[in-house]
Structure 1
C-alpha cells in the first residue's frame, strides 16, 4: 500500500454561519507529524477534534463511493480530502481496518484509536441535509489514529501494517455495535477489551454495558 493523499488545513469561516472550522483541507506532498498530528494542520473545536487520540484522520475511497451513490449530486464534489481527513490510502476501508492496528506511514508509527463521529459540519459544507446522519447510520465514518512515533510522511511512501491485536473488531463492526440499539453485553464487552481503544470511548461503553445490568 502507498500513501496516495495527504491533507492539512487552516481555520476558515464556515459559510453561511459565523463559525470557524478546520475541515477544509488542501493537498500537500509532505507532512511532519508529532503526537498531536500534522504540524500546521488546525483543529478549531478542541472539544471534539484533535488531541492525542485524534491526531490523524483517514477516510476511505469506498466510503466516498457510498456517499456519491446516495447523493449523486456530490459526484466531483465529495472527493478525497473534502471531508476533513488527512490521509488517503486506496486499499484501506472501514471493513479492513481494525481498532488497535499499528501502521508505519513513512517514518511515522500510528495506531487506530477510534472511529470518527461525524459532525453537523459535513452536512453544512456539502449543503446536504441529513448527510451527517447518513454517514453515521451507514458506518462510513473513517477513523482516527494516535501517533506512537513522530516523523515525516511523503506522497508515495509505503503504508505497512505492523501489528493487529484486535483482528475481529474492524471499524465497520465497531460502528455497528456502537450505534446499535440492541447491542448485547457481550458485544459491548468485546469492544471495551480492544487494545488501543481511546480511553473516553472505553469508559462510555463500560457505562452503557453497566446500564444493561441495571
Structure 2
C-alpha cells in the first residue's frame, strides 16, 4: 500500500448549480515534502464546512487512485472533458491519494500506519453538491453511489508528519463494517 500524493487546499469560492457561489476547500493540490499531521488534519489544509468534512472524525480524506480512470471516463462520456486525460491527484478533494487499498478491503476502525503518524478509518465519504460541481455533470453523486467508490475519512490517531511516496500498513480494528458496507448502508438510506 502506497501514499502517492499528499494534497491540501485553501477555501475559495466554488460555483455550483444555479450559478450561486459557495465557500469550498474541495480543490486540493499536491504538496512536496513532509506535511505536519495535527489532530484536526493536515497543516495548510482548509475545511470550509466542518459539518461534512473536518473535525476530529473527518480530519483527513483518503481516496484510492484506482478509481480515477473511472471518473476520467465518466467526464468524457458527459462531455465535461474533451480529452481522455488522467485526473490529477487531489481532484476528488482528497488529502491522501493512495494505491493498494480499496473500500472493500478496509474496515471502519482500522488504522493506517505511516512511518511517522497513524490515521484511523472513521467513515465513507458521501457525495455532495460540491463534488457534483467539480465533476461537472449533474449525475456525479449518483454515479459515486452506484459505483461504490467514495474513499474514506480518517481521524488522527497519532500526530507526526506524512509525505508522498511513503508505504503504509493496515492494523485491523474491530471489523464490524467495511467502508463499502457502511457506504452501502448510507446508499440504501439515501434511496428511501
TM-score (norm 2): 0.85
Say which one has the larger Rg. 1
Q: Could you tell me how far 1:26 is from its partner in structure 2?
A: 1.1
- The number of equivalent residue pairs is 182
Greater helix proportion: 1
Question: How do residues 129-140 of structure 1 correspond to structure 2 at under 5 angstroms?
Answer: 129-140=138-149
Query: Aligned-pair RMSD on alpha carbons?
Result: 2.2
Structure 2 residue corresponding to 1:48, chosen from 38, 52, 56: 52
In structure 1, runs of 5+ residues without a counterpart are 182-214
Q: Could you tell me how far 1:22 is from its partner in structure 2?
A: 0.2
TM-score (norm 1): 0.77
Whether the 8 Å contact between 1:61 and 1:93 is mirrored in structure 2 is no
Deviations 1:109-129 (A, max 9, x none): 111000011111111122211
Structure 1 match to 2:25: 22
Structure 2 match to 1:175: 183
Question: How do residues 26-41 of structure 1 correspond to structure 2 at under 5 angstroms?
Answer: 26-29=29-32, 30-41=34-45
Whether the 8 Å contact between 1:58 and 1:86 is mirrored in structure 2 is yes
In structure 2, runs of 5+ residues without a counterpart are none
Whether the 8 Å contact between 2:35 and 2:42 is mirrored in structure 1 is yes
Structure 1 residue corresponding to 2:117, chosen from 108, 113, 116: 108
Greater strand proportion: 2
Moved more, 170-179 or 104-113: 170-179
Whether the 8 Å contact between 1:63 and 1:93 is mirrored in structure 2 is no
